[in-house]
Amino acid sequence: MRQPLIIAFSLYGLMALGAPAQAAMVENLTYDLGGFKVLIPKVETSGGSLTDTDLRAILDPLDGATLAQRLARANAGTVSIPRLSFEFAPGQSFSYRDIKLVNLANGQIEAASAAGASADLPDQHGGTLSASYGAMSMRKVNLGLMLRIATSVRSDPNEPLASLYEDFTADGFEMKSPDADVSMGRISGSGIKGRPFSVPLSEIVGMAQRNPNAPLSDEDGRKLGMLITDMMQSFEVGQVEARDMLVRVKTGEKGEVGIGRFYMGGVSKGRFGELAYEDFRILMPDGKARIGRFALRDLDLSRTFAAMRELARQGDFKSAENDPRALIPTLGLIELTGLDFDVPDTTGKGNSADGKRVLFTLGRFEIGTRGFIEGIPTALNVRVQDFVFPLPGKSKDDDLQQLIAFGLNRLELSHNMDLAWTEATQELGLKDYSIRMPGLGALKITGTIGNLSKELFSSNLALAQATALGALVKSLDINFENLGGVEKGLALQAKQSGQSIQDVKQMLVAGAAVGIPAMMGNSSASKAIGNAVAKFLADPKTLRISARSRDGLGASDLMMLSDPLALLDKVEISASANE
């Protein structure tokens, strides 16, 4: 195992060479690494002092000097490698062409590039997958650090990350097979940093060479867990972008899957500033699904990896004492926009006119969280905009039948929920809970719940439950705006009862003015509610009902809902209509 690794890293050192003062050339290099061979027909250097003998010594894995020592003595201007091939089996290979390495000094490369690459690999039918890659380049490459990551471990657990390379570009690739064609446009990135791991890679390679069907031993599982968590803590990415990814399926269920743009940015020690997919689409001959944008922002896995690392260090992943909440990552925002869904329904219960298709669109959906305590957010915002669901005229669903009876041919809905806990006041504020349905109405609810301490978010479930039971409802505001739903309801009730719309309206107005106070004990508050509801029904525009409790209503008070008189004594209620 050691010899192939030494040879491989020697080749890596060659690719980082810069140009010496005079021309040097080595030909017909072949390295047998056991599972595959590396073939380099020719290496040329220019602009430096290396001779042919020097260059061959640097590439010789049996040279007495370490790879780092050989690399340190290679200060050069240009290295040209017309072709670099990896052969895995007859007919299976991967090759780079026209590699250029410019200005190597003290393990740093000013620029590295390749005109392209190609691959011939086996497919699942015994055939060949052919792939071609466009031109690629990197700038300001820290080869010395790359070799440290590959060959050693860091001695300082808190070693800072350093630049691996400043930026890179690749002009995409294409792969063709009998089943599908895959292509990708330009790929680019910048701000790539890293540091050596705390676990030697050679140990992981050793694990991979064992029986792949055998379960990992506890020790190997511990090492693998340590490596995975440490890798996430040991890299940083400024940004990476890939465009125009497309998979065309040519057999069976033909169609295509595409992503216009993938973006990843602000990645550092287990934290992701943003992960985004744009113009995601699945197109089939008889259907489609599109997403304009799907993104995650402020995804923080650092708590998760720290907990995993501690579990790996202890070697005990199943202990009952392990707190599962320690593994919960935090996420600032989930965002989805531009959803368009149109697919066949073989059951005949779809929402198209004939029931043979499922159709809906969604303008925007997002969930935002902040203010985390032990992985649980103390503030939450949920937003749904412009959800549109066509209504089939012959639906057998009871809920859909009621909407259709209202004269609607589609359901439109927007929704928002915004709540946050404030530590200073120990209050949970419902800033906004609203639903808007064009053609029907808009409802908005706000309120405040007090006497909620930080223990509400405790991992001790009994303590969290006790805190929740001690909550006190202090205020509640309900606002309703009529957008045509009241008129539709009056018309439907008139049709079903055989009365005129005006007769139905007068009956409901009288019922509200008299019936509501009667049910609520004829208090001043109940009369205000009855009068406001009656006024709203007579001329349906807006209705507002507000409730305040100076001391707050607890769980025991809310159990008195069956006795409105007792409850009203504890609450100040106001109501108004059309204001």
Q: What is the pLDDT of residues 98-118, one digit of tens each?
A: 999 898 777 788 999 999 999
449 or 347, which is more confident: 449
Q: What is the pLDDT of residue 127?
A: 67
Angle (CA) 449-453-455 rounded to 5° is 125
Place of tokens 């995601």: 280
Mean pLDDT of 368-384: 93
pLDDT tens for 241-261 read 999 999 998 877 788 999 999
pLDDT tens for 276-324 read 999 999 998 888 999 999 999 999 988 887 777 777 666 655 554 556 7
d(CA 57, CA 532): 95
Asked whether residue 1 carries a pLDDT value surpassing 60, the answer given is no
N-terminal to C-terminal alpha carbon distance within the chain: 82
Coil, strand or helix at 533: helix
Mean pLDDT of 505-514: 90
Measure CA 310 to chain center. Answer: 25
Query: Is residue 192 a contact partner of residue 164, using CB atoms and an 8 Å limit?
Result: yes
458 or 522, which is more confident: 458
Burial of 556 (0-12, 13-18, 19+ CB in 10 A): exposed
Contacts of 115 (CB under 8 A, 6+ apart): 97, 98, 135
Angle (CA) 558-563-568 rounded to 5° is 70
Query: Is residue 237 a contact partner of residue 264, using CB atoms and an 8 Å limit?
Result: yes
DSSP, res 455: G
d(CA 535, CA 486): 13
Q: Helix H segments across 371-500? A: 398-405, 461-469, 485-497
| Number of other residues whose CB lies within 10 A of the CB of residue 76 | 25
Mean pLDDT of 561-578: 76
d(CA 182, CA 283): 15
pTM of the model as a whole: 0.81
Residue 405 pLDDT grade (very low, low, confident, very high; cuts 50, 70, 90): confident
Residue 19 pLDDT grade (very low, low, confident, very high; cuts 50, 70, 90): very low
d(CA 181, CA 288): 19
d(CA 470, CA 530): 32
DSSP, res 392: P
Percent of the chain with pLDDT over 70: 84
Asked whether residue 240 carries a pLDDT value surpassing 60, the answer given is yes
Mean pLDDT of 498-517: 89
Q: What is the pLDDT of residue 157?
A: 86
Mean pLDDT of 68-79: 73
Query: Is residue 266 a contact partner of residue 213, using CB atoms and an 8 Å limit?
Result: no
Mean pLDDT of 190-209: 75
d(CA 449, CA 468): 10
Q: What is the pLDDT of residue 4?
A: 41
Coil, strand or helix at 548: strand
Mean pLDDT of the chain: 83
Asked whether residue 400 carries a pLDDT value surpassing 80, the answer given is no
Mean pLDDT of 62-80: 72
- List the single range of 148-157, 272-281, 404-413, 479-488 with lowest mean pLDDT: 148-157
567 or 534, which is more confident: 534
- List the single range of 4-18, 134-148, 235-249 with lowest mean pLDDT: 4-18
Asked whether residue 34 carries a pLDDT value surpassing 80, the answer given is no
Place of tokens 């800033």: 431
